[in-house]
Amino acid sequence: MSETQGQRVNGHIRERFDTLVVGGGIAGLESALDLAEQGYRVLVVEKEASIGGKMIALSKVFPTLDCSSCITTPKMSAVAHHENIEIATHTSVTAIEENAGTHRVELVRRPTYVDEDLCIGCSLCEEACPIEYPDPFEEGLGSIRAIAVPFTNAIPQKAVLNPEYCIACGACAKVCPTDAVKFDQEQLIYHVDADSVIIASGFTLNSVYLKPQYNAAMSRNTITPMQLERLLAPHGPYGRVLRPSDGKVPDSIAFVLCAGSRDQSIGVPYCSRVCCMYSIKQAILLSGAVPLADITIYYMDIRAFGKGHEQFYKNAQAMGINFVNGKVARIDNIENNDMSLRIENLETGQVEENRHDLVVLAQGIIPQPVKPDGLNAVAGDDGFVERPEIHRPAWTGMEGVFVAGVAAGPKDIVDSIMDAGAAAAEASGFLSRREEKGKMFF
């Protein structure tokens, strides 16, 4: 939503929507589209500079191995072009209050230092900018300029300036053909009213929740699964799979499952549900990308719970991926930036020391709770949104507030999309019941 839209009330912008969707990942996008197709007006609020969530950064998806961005980009575009949907990126929900049967929402849009209405996404500013920093979209493996469109298929295609790295040299402003660079842009506070809310704030991954004995920070060749997704992506940071420390093609790759889940001591006692499958997927993709490499998956048990998942697992075994039922006790960085893994092999009962030159730690799925004033009640003990009634899995227990996707607990894309449909159906039922009630008074 641009600054010029909406009605200004006390210096702020006030608009009314049928539904506010918090989060522009695949779950939020699906919910928004479902409702918009039924004629409801939807506002999608996304805290990052682009919609698309985690899925837009994935390489391919299990169990079909379809290209992830080929599925996500058309959805993002459909949302962006839908006449009933507004998108507010770089924006956080800071308060939601129930007020006379509706939700009064406060939104804070952080400055991008670029006027969205003027920016044409030409990238001339990016070319002129002399400063580079580790690219968050490439999980720090590549670099991006201090002012840039966040990634190739970002929506909106608007440049964003990172004030942490900008040296205010003015090179970007000089080349901008539309005078869109605004060094003095300030944060903007919006107020909107929304009759219903869908929380689709997804998850985060954080190495803080890894077992400390894995010394994750000690080696550049101990990488996260999202980093591997980017290495495997056709337009990834290096264009091929290379070790971050020295650019060598890896020849012995290890996956450590449950590295950040199912462990009370690290604060993540639950199963993250997708790690077994995404690790198997990544191993399969690696065997194509680095055909000479040995690939080993260390696991406690494999949870291949979904349709087609067991067969996917069997295919990986048949392809020669080495599955070792064992607990990884510790990981040490040894010479040449290789890693030594101490394993308790549960099949042989032996303790082994195995050397690998690239290690992928399956981090846990960590909730990303939406806790603006007034919505605190919806987060459960584990941080994921509570669903108090088993026969209404999209309802949060709060009037008109629903949940979709990983915000309610770890799950894969198919289940996130099904959740999104359920949340949209609940929201639509809620809105139409309100309309009926409204008619009864006239």
Ligand X SMILES: Cc1cc2nc3c(=O)[nH]c(=O)nc-3n(C[C@H](O)[C@H](O)[C@H](O)COP(=O)(O)OP(=O)(O)OC[C@H]3O[C@@H](n4cnc5c(N)ncnc54)[C@H](O)[C@@H]3O)c2cc1C
- Chain residues that interact with ligand X, rule: CB under 6 A: 22-28, 45-48, 53-55, 58, 61-62, 92-93, 200-203, 205, 225-226, 229, 274, 278, 281, 368, 370, 405-407, 411-414, 416
Cα distance between residue 338 and residue 251, in whole Å: 11
Closer Cβ to ligand X, 144 or 274, answer by number: 274
Count CB atoms within 10 A of the CB of residue 10.
Answer: 7
Closer Cβ to ligand X, 175 or 271, answer by number: 271
CB of 151 to ligand X, least distance (A): 13
Closer Cβ to ligand X, 58 or 125, answer by number: 58
CB of 410 to ligand X, least distance (A): 8
Q: Pick left, alpha or beta for residue 154 (phi over 0 → left; psi -120 to 50 → alpha; otherwise beta).
A: beta
CB of 360 to ligand X, least distance (A): 9
Cα distance between residue 48 and residue 59, in whole Å: 20
The backbone torsions φ and ψ at residue 61, rounded to the nearest 5 degrees and listed phi first, read: -115, 140
At which residue do the structure tokens 């005078």 appear?
Answer: 179
Closer Cβ to ligand X, 56 or 176, answer by number: 56
CB of 108 to ligand X, least distance (A): 10
Closer Cβ to ligand X, 58 or 343, answer by number: 58
Closer Cβ to ligand X, 259 or 370, answer by number: 370
CB of 299 to ligand X, least distance (A): 16
Closer Cβ to ligand X, 141 or 171, answer by number: 141
CB of 209 to ligand X, least distance (A): 13
CB of 178 to ligand X, least distance (A): 27
CB of 310 to ligand X, least distance (A): 15
Closer Cβ to ligand X, 176 or 200, answer by number: 200
